[in-house]
Structure 1
Amino acid sequence: MINHDEVAAVRPSTLAWVSRHLEVGERIVRTEALHGGITAEMRRLTIGTRDGGTRDLVLRTFVNVEHAEDWLNREAGALTLLTGTGVPAPELVAVDPTAAHCEYPSLLMTHLAGRTVLDDEGLETRVPLLAGQLVAIHALRPAERPREYVAWTTADTVVAPKGADAAAWAAAIDVIRKPAPPYDGRFLHRDFQPGNVLFDVPSPSPAGPRITGVVDWAATSWGPADLDVAHCSTNLALLHGPAWGLRFAEAYEEAGGVLAAAASERLYWQVRDGLAFSEEVQLVAKPWREAGRTELTTRAVEERLDAYVTALMDALG
């Protein structure tokens, strides 16, 4: 978890680096911390323009994070690839993955309009939008594939929550002891979930909400569509209840996405992602509480995770 007190302000060396990538006559007039991330320090930089107006950029900084260079290189590559694809991602401005110029490894990108929405209200409208956006991401066929996905848990590192359904968790762990099923590779975001999707949510109107951006491309990978779907499903289950986790795979198919044909193969990916959360419940719950979901204590999220894993085993096992 990032210690937001550790970086009270953008360091002079980093500000100087940013300034070198601005247009002639532009200057940084304000910095503002953006909260909600787990591994990176995020700041919105307000840039004064030559005509007296302003525009915003976003500075993503990894402070004492292992593999920061790798993550920033992957994100820079993904943002470059996504330019002109129609996927609403930030545009890369500059990257310093080794902190050659900045205090810490950093990436500078354009700022996207919109905000994350983690409330239960309006979820039935947002889920189909999330599913459709993920289908569009998986439809990308880059000239150069990103690296193969990496599993985020193993059968031996799973931490069953206190009071969990022991039989269901033992069966789920047995599922991921088996080799991964064969799959058709797709371009994966790898952390596609409500916390990384921006919405324009207007006042009540027939138009309804729309997605304005997808952020945090540092884990971009090549792998099965099921894995991205499973990750968003788990997030929805923990944020809004297990039924929404089960619903997302249906929404993805309704939007035109294609998942593994066999129920056993779908179960493998859904369970693999769900069990990965068992090791970091405290990490994922804290940003949600900071965003206003104060009822999502670590214990409450553990209970939802247990209910979701049990529901997966009942529905697909």
Structure 2
Amino acid sequence: MSNHDEAAALRPLTLAWVNRHLKLGERIVGIEALHGGITAEMRRLTIGTRDGGTRNLVLRTFVNVEHAEDWLNREVGALTLLPGTGVPAPGLVAVDPTAAHCEYPSLLMTHLAGRTVLDDEGLEARVPLLARQLAAIHAVLPAARPRKYVALTTADTVVVPQGADAAAWAAAIDVIREPAPPFEGRFLHRDFQPGNVLFDVPPSRPAGARITGVVDWAAASWGPADLDVAHCSVNLALLHGPEWGLRFPEAYEEAGGVLAATANERLYWQVRDGLASSEEVRQVSQPWREAGRTDLTTRAVEGRLDDYVSALMNTLG
């Protein structure tokens, strides 16, 4: 077995657990740490098969995470629901949500082809793909509803970036002081954004990209489609500029998605998720830099968030 870096090594109990869920005659021949995750350790396992070939699995391990059991149960629920829906998601192999067998709560799943794409090049072609994929997720009708969405941000926890437009942020915070508007529930990914979508991109033709997978279903829940749209919008704004955050809801509707009926209701969800990002700027920008977007310093991302929140209040308010 070859480890590509020291962080890839499996802990003894976890290694034994994985081995018990391989097919007869298979063995682990390679382990590689995957970067970009925030809440969990991710590893790609290369499995040697009986016929001399290989296949890949992905191991997701939650280390010292308070809500690991809930998140893993949500993810298992989603991965069990999605086969046959047309939504490309990993296949469930095994789960240990309470660390009964592994050192930490763990999930073993199939590996999907493709890669995340965070560059500006080809974005105009990818945004409609993201919108269509999200509309397809919202069209899934689970036999049993997952748990209701969680939105932890409050008017008191918002972190206003240094040098931000104080008037715009004060107005935005006032928006989320109001009760959430009524909504028609949908199946939500709840962390749908470019970092959780895999693409196949022809090297010579970025505009020919296609989606090969949607990953990280640990927050799957039931709630307003607007919330998923708002989350992807703010991530596009931080990655590529505020104009792309404003563009995404239009692309979603063009793809057949249905948003809240009134501008004020839409504004509520857009602002709520935008302000939620204020508490996580450092956390989300680091994986982006590790993935090659070294221009996305914490300060640069804070500036884009300020511009986006201000644009929301000017354009939709």
TM superposition score normalised by structure 1: 0.97
Please say if residues 28 and 48 of structure 1, whose CA atoms lie closer than 8 Å, have aligned partners that are also in contact: yes
Tell whether 2:33 aligns with 1:33: yes
Letter in 1 for 2:226: D
Unmatched 5+ stretches in structure 1: none
Return the letter of the residue paired with 2:110.
Answer: T
1:185-204 matched pairs, under 5 angstroms? 185-204=185-204
Distance 1:72 1:160, change over 3 A: same
Q: Note the C-alpha offset of 1:12.
A: 1.5
| Cα distance, 1:191 vs structure 2 | 0.1
Q: Distance in 1 between matches of 2:164 and 2:205?
A: 43
State the distance in 2 between where 1:46 and 1:154 align.
43
Map of 1:54 onto structure 2:
54
Structure 1 residue 170 displacement after superposition: 0.3
* Cα distance in 2, alignment partners of residues 208 and 62 from structure 1: 35
* Aligned mates of 1:304, 1:168 — CA distance in 2: 14
Equivalent in the alignment of 1:261: 261
Residue number in structure 2 paired with 1:226: 226
Residue 137 (structure 2) pairs with residue 174 (structure 1): no
* Matching of residue 15 in structure 1 with residue 18 in structure 2: no
Q: 1:161-213: CA deviations, max 9, x gaps?
A: 00000000000000000000011000000000000000000133598110000
> Hey, what's the Cα distance between the residues in 1 that align with 2:167 and 2:206?
47
* Alpha-carbon separation, structure 1, partners of 2:249 and 2:182: 19
Equivalent residues of 2:197, 2:214 under 8 A apart: yes
SS at match of 2:288: helix
- Tell me the residue number matched to 1:155: 155
Deviations 1:8-65 (A, max 9, x none): 5211110110011111000001100000011110000000000000000000000111
Amino acid at match of 2:130: L
CA contact (8 A) 2:69 2:98 kept: yes
Task: Indicate conservation of the 8 Å contact 2:34/2:44, yes or no.
Answer: yes
Find the residue that maps to 1:289 and give its secondary structure: helix
Deviates more, 1:12-21 or 1:129-138: 12-21
Amino acid at match of 2:145: R
Displacement, 1:266?
0.4
Contact preservation (8 Å) 2:125, 2:207: no
* Higher mean C-alpha deviation, range 81-90 or range 234-243: 81-90
Shift of 1:270: 0.1
**1:58–1:109 CA contact under 8 A, matched in 2:** yes
Q: Which residue of 1 aligns with 2:143?
A: 143
The CA deviation string for residues 270-310 of structure 1, in whole angstroms up to 9 with x for no partner, is: 00000001111000000000000001010100000000000
Matched with 1:114 is: 114
Identity %: 85
Q: Which residue of 2 aligns with 1:279?
A: 279
User: In structure 2, how many angstroms separate the alpha carbons of the residues matched to 1:34 and 1:256?
Assistant: 34
Q: Give the corresponding residue for 2:237.
A: 237
- What SS does structure 2 have at the residue aligned with 1:279? coil
* Correspondence for 1:215: 215
- Runs of 5+ in structure 2 lacking a partner? none
Q: Secondary structure at the match of 2:179?
A: coil
Offset from partner CA, 1:218-257 (integer Å, 9 cap, x none):
0001000000000000000000000000000000000000
CA contact 1:227–1:273 (8 Å) conserved in 2: yes
Name the counterpart of 1:69: 69
Given the two structures, how large is their TM-score scaled by the length of structure 2?
A: 0.97
Matched to 1:120, the amino acid is D
Shift of 1:104: 0.9
Assess if the C-alpha contact under 8 Å between 2:8 and 2:43 holds in 1.
Answer: no
Distance 1:27 1:203 in 2: 33
Distance 1:24 1:269 in 2: 49
Return closer, same or farther for 1:6/1:97 CA change in 2, 3 Å cut-off: farther
Q: Is the contact between residue 127 and residue 251 of structure 1 (CA under 8 Å) also seen in structure 2?
A: yes
Aligned AA (1:69)? E
In 1, Cα distance between equivalents of 2:118 and 2:195: 7
Q: Which residue of 2 aligns with 1:311?
A: 311
The answer to whether the aligner puts 1:43 opposite 2:62 as a matched pair is no
Q: Which amino acid aligns with 1:143?
A: A
Summarize the Cα distance change of 1:125–1:45 in structure 2 as closer, same or farther, 3 Å threshold: same
Q: How does 1:81-96 map to 2 (within 5 A)?
A: 81-96=81-96
Q: Number of matched residues? A: 313
